[in-house]
Amino acid sequence: MSETRHVPVMLQRCLDLLAPALAEPGATVVDCTLGLGGHGEALLETFPAARLIGLDRDPEALRLAGERLAPHAARATLVHAVYDELPAVLDRLGVPRVQGVLFDLGVSSMQLDEDGRGFAYARDAPLDMRMDQTTGISAAEVLNTYPPGELVRVLRAYGEEKHARRIVEAVVRARAEEPFTTSGRLVELIREALPQAAKRTGGNPAKRTFQALRIEVNGELSVLERAVPAAVSRLAVGGRIAVLSYHSLEDRLVKRVLTEGAGSTAPPGLPVVPEQYQPRLKLLTRGAELPGEEEVAENRRAAPARLRGAQRIREERR
């Protein structure tokens, strides 16, 4: 098990953002993407009076995080759930409001490193990409069964892949001869389909296609679109949210939700803005914060990270 699997991204900054809300006894913080428990462990150790609720859709990640967090088991509740299920989880646990919420989006290091998951384009593995392998369709099923137009849409919308049509044409020809089962075959096909100029820049040419398939398989953007507003709605006044995202689609969505919450909802032209139209959130970061050069040098998976934070300053409008 490599050490990179245990390195939480922008850890200290996440702790600093959440700290003012978690210092009081009885504070509850939700780690919506528990993964291997790196952020969760740090939260429990840094805030000894806080309770952690940890969510993850990957049963194997929950098992490993449970082992890691065993010394804090009395203050940690781990739940198998997708993060847009946060309100239902809190209702089940009898927790109306929480003081902190953390999202660390994207693929966990364990999923990238685990042979048999098919997330990584650097090694040949079954084309699965499901974060929860007990449910849903695999990346191979998407490649083998989606109509060409739908595949082009997925690659363009979720991978921002300029050469989506060329790649899909090659996929359709190849799957007619033999269905896709492994990541290695897909990587090779993408290399052959792309023009030379596209292969010279921007890292591995399969990167955008793999991102697009992963987002489609796990419904990541639609889940996130529901999850961030849901998390904000369950923050107590004074509570804080921190969100780490790893590509522009996620970051734009998070930015929109937090910025809207930090703006007035009053009709234009009112001389005085009534209380119910006042902002619900205060932004805690100027734009998206980036990891430092030192962190990126030590943990290359931190490189694309973008961190945004906000504080709840008012209850919902009635």
CATH code for the domain in which residue 29 is found: 3.40.50.150
Residue ranges of the chain with pLDDT lower than 70? 1-6, 107-123, 197-203, 317-318
Q: What DSSP character marks residue 220? A: H
Q: How many domains does the chain have?
A: 2
Buried b (16+ CB within 10 A) or exposed e, 14-32: bbebbeebbeeeebbbbbb
What pLDDT does residue 202 have?
62
Q: Do 195 and 250 lie in a common domain?
A: no
What is the rounded distance in angstroms from the CA atom of residue 115 to the CA atom of residue 135? Answer: 19
At 265, give phi and psi (nearest 5°).
-105, 15
In a domain, 117, yes or no: no
User: Can you name the residues that pair with 100 across neighbouring β-strands?
Assistant: 29, 240
Same domain for 212 and 278?
no
Of 154, 186, 218, which marks where a domain is finished?
218
Note whether residue 226 is domain-resident. Answer: yes
| Residue 91 assigned as binding residue | no
Which pLDDT score, from 0 to 100, does residue 38 have? 93
pLDDT at 273 (0 to 100):
77
Q: What is the pLDDT of residue 144?
A: 97
Residue 83 in marked binding region: yes
Given 174, 202, 218, which residue is the final one in a domain? 218
My answer on whether 207 and 263 are in the same domain is: no
Give the DSSP H or E segment for 56.
strand 51-56
User: CATH number of the domain that 189 lies in?
Assistant: 1.10.150.170
Name the nearest CA neighbour of 29 among 244, 20, 256, 61: 20
39 annotated to bind ligand? yes
In a domain, 59, yes or no: yes
In a domain, 297, yes or no: yes
Domain boundaries, position 255: 3-110+220-312
How many residues make up the chain in this entry?
A: 318
CA 191/CA 167 separation, integer angstroms: 9
User: What distance in Å separates the CA atoms of residue 273 and residue 281, rounded to the nearest whole number?
Assistant: 16
Global pTM value: 0.86
Is 133 annotated to bind a ligand? Reply is no
pLDDT computed for residue 201 by the predictor: 64
Question: How many CA atoms does the CB half-sphere of 18 hold within 13 Å?
Answer: 33
Identify whether 115 is part of a domain. no
